[in-house]
């Protein structure tokens, strides 16, 4: 059972499902029909590909983790997952709509700048700049799960931008928690993330403030639409995220982050889906 759980979490299958779920949630929140299967296929395949490539080529470091150990011990499995992700991405491209390729171009540029030192006069990727790292990562997740699935024609643009901003803040909180987990490693490598700059206590306080803003934006959306089920879903999502944040103070391992923190994406989608019943 433990090996199955490790595979599900460390192979990036779970985070891939989280990404697909958030795309579907966007459709529900904006009253859109479900996207074509090729969009979900692309998002899942791209997530599978990116995460496994990252950990396949990531250098082992002194701060050991369950995920790093799994990656080192399962090189063949990761190669298969990388090939599967690439195949899903290529397959989905034949069915995506032309408008999607604009988003893909923007995402490709952001991903390249995030991972590789491509900017002139800058000899390191943007992920090594602490504040840019979390901003770009949160933005990329928001673009993938809001802009990518949403057909903005005929959409209430105020609702769209409220969903976009709220998703960015939600992902920012999740990314901030991962930065807190990695603060010692980042400090050792000279990457001045928010937790490295501000310390753990202030970073937790910042997460609480952002979650409060997240709820306030949901309240604004409630006033505009009178959609109580969606507001309750967002409020409960924020409270559950706050609860898991408290758990990270007691349990510092990959399972609480990959299943608990990342799992908040699935939980939020489930709550929104229940609100549509």
Domains of the chain: 2-275 (1.10.600)
| Across 197-214, average pLDDT | 95
For the residues 51-62, what does the mean pLDDT come to? 75
For residue 116, is pLDDT > 80?
no
- If pLDDT is split at 50, 70 and 90, which confidence band does 61 have? low
Instruction: Please work out, in degrees rounded to the nearest 5, the angle formed at the alpha carbon of residue 154 by the alpha carbons of 148 and 157.
Output: 70
Across 218-234, average pLDDT: 94
Most confidently predicted of 52-61, 66-75, 109-118, 192-201: 192-201
pTM of the model: 0.93
Tokens 């490709």, residue located: 108
Q: Which pLDDT value is given to residue 71?
A: 86
Q: Is the pLDDT of residue 60 over 70?
A: no
Per-residue model confidence (pLDDT) at position 62: 54
pLDDT of residue 126: 72
Q: Give the integer Cα–Cα distance in Å for 158 and 185.
A: 40
Q: How high is the pLDDT of residue 29?
A: 95
Residue 109 is predicted with a pLDDT of 85
Whole-number mean pLDDT of the chain? 89
- The mean-pLDDT minimum among 75-79, 89-93, 147-151, 242-246 falls in 147-151
Residue 65 pLDDT: 76
pLDDT of residue 186: 83
Higher pLDDT, 111 or 163: 163
> Mean of the pLDDT values across residues 85-112?
89
Mean per-residue pLDDT, 75-79: 93
Q: What is the pLDDT of residue 242?
A: 96
Give the whole-number percent of the chain exceeding pLDDT 90.
60
Point out the least confidently predicted range of 57-66, 127-136, 169-178: 57-66
């Amino acid at each position: 059972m433990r090996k199955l759980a490790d595979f599900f979490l460390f192979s990036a299958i779970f985070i891939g499902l989280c990404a697909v779920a958030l795309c579907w949630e966007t459709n529900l929140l904006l009253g859109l029909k479900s996207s074509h299967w090729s969009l979900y296929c692309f998002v899942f395949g791209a997530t599978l590909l990116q995460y496994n490539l990252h950990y396949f080529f990531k250098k082992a470091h002194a701060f050991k983790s369950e995920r790093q150990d799994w990656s080192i011990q399962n090189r063949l499995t990761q190669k298969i997952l990388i090939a599967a992700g690439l195949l899903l991405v290529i397959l989905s491209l034949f069915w995506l709509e032309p408008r999607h390729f604009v988003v893909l171009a923007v995402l490709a540029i952001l991903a390249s700048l995030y991972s590789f030192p491509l900017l002139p006069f800058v000899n390191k990727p943007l992920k090594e700049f602490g504040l840019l790292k979390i901003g770009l990562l949160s933005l990329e997740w928001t673009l993938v799960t809001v802009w990518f699935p949403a057909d903005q024609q005929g959409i209430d643009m105020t609702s769209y931008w409220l969903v976009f901003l709220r998703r960015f803040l939600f992902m920012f909180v999740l990314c901030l928690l991962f930065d807190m987990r990695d603060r010692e490693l980042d400090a050792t490598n000279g990457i001045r993330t928010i937790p490295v700059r501000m310390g753990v206590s202030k970073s937790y306080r910042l997460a609480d403030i952002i979650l409060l803003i997240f709820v306030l934006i949901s309240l604004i959306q409630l006033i505009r639409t009178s959609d109580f089920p969606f507001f309750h879903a967002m409020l409960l999502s924020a409270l559950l995220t706050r609860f898991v944040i408290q758990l990270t103070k007691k349990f510092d391992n990959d399972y609480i982050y990959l299943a608990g923190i990342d799992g908040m994406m699935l939980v939020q989608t489930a709550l929104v889906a229940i609100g549509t019943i």
